[in-house]
């Protein structure tokens, strides 16, 4: 397990008679983007929730950085560095991008939030926060309130926050959703660099993004992984083409 950041084994989850997750095993290795694709209702989001800890599986295990986190809740997994999907609600919309990242730096440093006093002059917060904005390509937008950032910029800000909180792997559920072609292109380029900071398990319907980014792809259909492999292997897999890619491939 040393070369595996995240290791999911035989996860199962039923909703009544529906097998939403039917014995899924999947690994995430250092430096990689592992894409999880499949038709609507295949169980991708349900699987991501079980990995992040917000849905309890009926059986199976999740190991993160060698530790069995199966019984831990969302917050405990996040504290260990399992970065969750995009959550707009995690941003303070009226605060600048810089201030939002500073709050994350502050929380990681373990000091209590200081809403009063000269926080913005505290270099132990501003410097690491600015460095994080530079890494995520948002430095020029540091003073802009989160609410005024574009959709794509907010996602970059959320990643800057996740990195400031010490995320060591990311679970992204449809990050391209709601983005125009330019935004998708920019986010694709950004995720391409992010994989070197922390590997990514990526649920995404945008096949251009998936084929451009994925080191490996797993295909989920009716709660089961029907194929797993490189982009070329998946594109040329007859079962995958039949079940999911269809004529679009
Ligand atoms: N809380 C729930 N109770 C009952 N059924 C559920 C629940 N959550 C999900 N399901 C069902 O589980 C199946 C998998 O849903 P899920 O949202 O995980 O699929 P998905 O692959 O993420 O789909 P999409 O690509 O459309 O987002 C669906 O049939 C869905 O209706």
Q: Find tokens 């890619």 and name the residue.
A: 245
User: Is a pLDDT exceeding 50 seen at residue 249?
Assistant: no
Is 54 strand, coil or helix? Answer: coil
| Mutation to probe ligand 1, out of 13, 22, 43 (largest number of atoms < 8 A from CB) | 43
Ligand 1 centroid–CA 46 distance in Å is 6
Is residue 160 within 8 Å of residue 136, measured between CB atoms? Answer: yes
Q: Closest ligand 1 atom to the C-alpha of 39?
A: 25
| Burial class for 146, CB neighbours closer than 10 Å (0-12, 13-18, 19+) | buried
- Residue 113, SS3 per DSSP: coil
Give CATH 3.40.50.300 domain extents, the chain. Answer: 1-81+168-249
Mean pLDDT over the full length of the chain: 88
Residue 120: count of CB within 10 angstroms of its CB:
11
Average pLDDT of the residues in 40-64: 96
Q: For residue range 219-247, what is the model confidence (pLDDT) as tens digits?
A: 999 999 999 999 999 999 988 888 776 64
**pLDDT tens digit sequence for 104-150:** 888 877 765 555 556 667 788 899 999 999 988 899 999 999 999 98
Answer whether 40 contacts ligand 1 (Cβ < 6 A): yes
pLDDT, tens digit (0-9, with 9 covering 90-100), for 199-220? 999 999 889 899 999 999 999 9
pLDDT in tens, 14-50: 999 999 999 999 999 999 999 999 999 999 999 999 9
44 lines ligand 1 (CB under 6 A): yes
Environment class of residue 115 by beta-carbon count within 10 Å: exposed (0-12), middle (13-18) or buried (19+)?
Answer: exposed
User: Cα(144) to centroid of ligand 1, in Å?
Assistant: 36
CATH label, 1-81+168-249, candidates 3.40.630.30, 3.40.50.300, 2.60.40.1120, 3.40.80.10? 3.40.50.300
Question: Count of residues for the chain?
Answer: 249
Q: Which strand ranges, in their side-by-side order, compose the sheet holding 6-15?
A: 18-28, 6-15, 59-64, 67-68
Q: What does the pLDDT read at residue 117?
A: 55
C-alpha 81/C-alpha 26 separation (Å) is 18
């Amino acid at each position: 397990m040393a070369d595996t950041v995240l290791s999911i084994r035989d996860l199962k989850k039923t909703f009544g008679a529906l097998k939403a997750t039917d014995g899924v095993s999947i690994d995430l290795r250092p430096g990689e983007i592992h894409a999880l694709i499949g038709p609507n209702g295949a169980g991708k989001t349900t699987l991501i929730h079980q990995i992040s800890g917000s849905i309890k599986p009926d059986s199976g295990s999740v190991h993160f950085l060698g530790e069995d986190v199966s019984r831990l809740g969302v917050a405990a997994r996040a504290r260990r560095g399992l970065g969750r999907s995009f959550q707009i609600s995690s941003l303070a919309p009226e605060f600048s991008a810089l201030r939002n990242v500073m709050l994350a730096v502050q929380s990681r440093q373990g000091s209590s939030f200081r809403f009063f006093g000269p926080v913005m002059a505290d270099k132990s917060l501003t410097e690491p926060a600015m460095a994080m904005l530079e890494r995520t390509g948002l430095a020029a937008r540091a003073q802009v309130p989160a609410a005024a950032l574009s959709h794509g910029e907010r996602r970059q800000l959320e990643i800057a926050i996740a990195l400031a909180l010490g995320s060591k792997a990311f679970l992204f559920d449809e990050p391209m959703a709601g983005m125009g072609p330019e935004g998708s292109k920019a986010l694709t380029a950004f995720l391409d660099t992010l994989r070197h900071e922390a590997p990514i398990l990526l649920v995404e319907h945008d096949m251009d993004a998936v084929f451009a980014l994925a080191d490996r792809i797993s295909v989920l259909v009716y709660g089961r992984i029907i194929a797993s492999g490189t982009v070329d292997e998946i594109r040329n897999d007859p079962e995958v083409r039949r079940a999911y890619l269809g004529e679009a491939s």
